[in-house]
């Protein structure tokens, strides 16, 4: 019977994935691999790996000659070395479209919480202060501009949801052609141009060599004073010490962060102590329906590859073929 390794997961049970694999006559070995060595040992002889966070590196791929495909449960795949997989002919798949609406709605929710002081007011009331000005003055949303960094699936949905809230919606995405921009979205030609024009910046890029630390002190300084930052992409896209400095100086008025470079947030993080920061626990993707879709589609990639030689959702194509 063909076998896959379910390398790691934080779900209470994996009945859903077992059902998908049983329907296709695939045997599952479930593990909780954290290191390269654990993946290498557990995946011997497996044709595929279904993973949440396990490291799929050059060392791992080169030690697994039977491996044809890895499928990430999620849209991002930064724990998978896609170049190493391509060198060895291993397909990389993901599950990108399960929570587009969830993440975009969450990003807009964080933006609205910031520009309306919602969490800050709640905290003030809990502290005994009931006054509409308790958390400071607010600007009219219709006078603010929204800047979207990364106009892919989620960025585009965010643009649609936000167009009736803000005065302008701008986006920066150097990988798109002009025709990919919806008519109501203004194109910013450079990241700096977006920073200068946007009162609210929302991040929707993957984490790559290029985007790591992209939102740095220079970017934040270029934003108009009193601006807001929302990050539902990946924590390391933002230089967090630079953000803390920008909040301390008052240049940035608030930040809504669903993702952080280190998760969970360290208890002594200055972000936790700052009333202008709203945090959520990497939950933007989540709804009951999205989680089922996410897991089913990621598992189905492996079954589809076994049947056809291609997964449903390709991150990068491989050359290895299923054994007949
Ligand atoms: P996508 O691939 O559809 O869109 C990403 C966009 O970013 C693309 O259009 C790409 O051209 C653009 N991009 C790449 N490099 C860029 C750069 N240097 N500057 C500007 N734009 C750049 O991906 P998506 O489905 O919209 O998801 C976006 C990201 O959101 C994912 O990579 C993932 O990291 C994150 N995400 C987070 C959660 C969560 O729960 N917080 C859930 C799902 C996805």
Residue 213 pLDDT greater than 90, yes or no: yes
pLDDT per residue over 5-42, tens digit each? Answer: 999 999 999 999 999 999 999 999 999 999 999 999 99
Local confidence band at 309 (pLDDT 50, 70, 90 cut-offs) = very high
Residue 324 pLDDT greater than 90, yes or no: no
Q: What is the DSSP letter of 183?
A: T
Choosing from 82, 202, 205, 284 the residue with most ligand 1 atoms within 8 A of its CB, the one to mutate for a pocket test is 205
pLDDT of residue 76: 87
Tell me the average pLDDT across 250-270: 97
Tell me the average pLDDT across 120-147: 97
* CA 97 from centre of chain: 12
Residue 202 pLDDT greater than 80, yes or no: yes
Residue pair 225/197 in contact by the 8 Å Cβ criterion: no
Sheet harboring 168-172: ordered strands across? Answer: 185-187, 168-172, 145-149, 200-203, 227-231, 252-257, 277-279
Going from the Cα of 135 to the center of ligand 1, the distance in angstroms, rounded, reads 32
pLDDT of residue 143: 98
Residues 6+ apart with CB under 8 A from 193: 172
pLDDT of residue 111: 98
Tell me the average pLDDT across 255-267: 97
CA Rg, the chain, in Å?
Answer: 22
102: Cα within 13 Å, side-chain hemisphere: 18
Say if ligand 1 is within 6 A of residue 210 CB.
yes
Say if ligand 1 is within 6 A of residue 237 CB.
no
pLDDT of residue 98: 94
Residue 318 pLDDT greater than 90, yes or no: yes
Going from the Cα of 47 to the center of ligand 1, the distance in angstroms, rounded, reads 28
* Dihedral angle computed from the Cα positions of residues 183, 185, 189 and 193, in that order, rounded to the nearest 10 degrees: 150
By annotation, the residues acting in catalysis are 234, 263, 282
Which tokens go with 251? 């240049």
Residue nearest to atom 35 of ligand 1 (CA): 233
Going from the Cα of 5 to the center of ligand 1, the distance in angstroms, rounded, reads 27
Say if ligand 1 is within 6 A of residue 46 CB.
no
Ligand 1 nearest-atom number relative to CA 258: 41
- Round to whole Å and give the CA distance between 17 and 257: 30
Q: Which of 320, 291, 307 minimizes the C-alpha distance to 92?
A: 320
| Helix pair 100-115, 118-126: axis angle to 10 deg | 60
Local confidence band at 214 (pLDDT 50, 70, 90 cut-offs) = very high
Tell me the average pLDDT across 257-270: 96
Ligand 1 nearest-atom number relative to CA 210: 18
- Higher pLDDT: 297 or 273? It is 297
Residues 6+ apart with CB under 8 A from 220: 195, 229, 242, 243, 246, 251, 252
Going from the Cα of 205 to the center of ligand 1, the distance in angstroms, rounded, reads 3
- Round to whole Å and give the CA distance between 175 and 155: 13
Residue nearest to atom 12 of ligand 1 (CA): 150
Tell me the average pLDDT across 172-183: 98
Rounded mean pLDDT of the chain?
97
């Amino acid at each position: 019977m063909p076998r896959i390794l379910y390398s790691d997961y934080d779900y209470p049970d994996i009945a859903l994935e077992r059902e998908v694999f049983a329907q296709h006559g695939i045997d599952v070995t479930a593990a909780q691999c954290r290191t390269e060595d654990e993946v290498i040992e557990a995946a011997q002889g497996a044709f595929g790996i279904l993973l949440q966070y396990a490291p799929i590196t050059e060392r791992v791929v080169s030690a697994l000659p039977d491996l044809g495909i890895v499928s990430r449960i999620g849209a991002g795949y930064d724990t998978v070395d896609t170049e190493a997989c391509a060198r060895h002919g291993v397909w990389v798949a993901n599950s990108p479209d399960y929570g587009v609406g969830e993440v975009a709605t969450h990003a807009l929710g964080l933006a609205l919480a910031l520009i309306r002081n919602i969490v800050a007011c709640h905290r003030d009331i809990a502290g005994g202060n009931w006054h509409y000005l308790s958390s400071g003055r607010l600007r009219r949303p219709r006078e603010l501009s929204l800047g979207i960094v990364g106009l892919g699936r989620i960025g585009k949905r965010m643009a649609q949801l936000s167009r009736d809230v803000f005065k302008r919606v701008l986006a920066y995405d150097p990988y798109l052609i002009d025709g990919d921009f919806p008519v109501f979205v203004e194109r910013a030609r450079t990241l700096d141009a977006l920073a200068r024009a946007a009162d609210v910046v929302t991040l929707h890029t993957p984490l790559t060599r290029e985007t790591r630390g992209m939102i740095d002190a220079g970017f934040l300084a270029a934003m108009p004073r009193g601006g807001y930052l929302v990050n539902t992409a990946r924590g390391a896209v933002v230089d967090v010490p630079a953000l803390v400095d920008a909040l301390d100086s008052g240049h940035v008025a608030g930040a809504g962060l669903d993702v952080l470079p280190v998760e969970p947030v360290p208890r002594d993080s200055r972000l936790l102590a700052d009333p202008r920061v709203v945090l959520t626990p990497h939950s933007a993707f989540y709804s009951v329906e999205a989680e089922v879709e996410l897991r089913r589609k990621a598992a189905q990639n492996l079954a589809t590859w076994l049947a056809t030689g291609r997964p449903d959702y390709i991150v990068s194509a491989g050359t290895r073929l299923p054994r007949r």
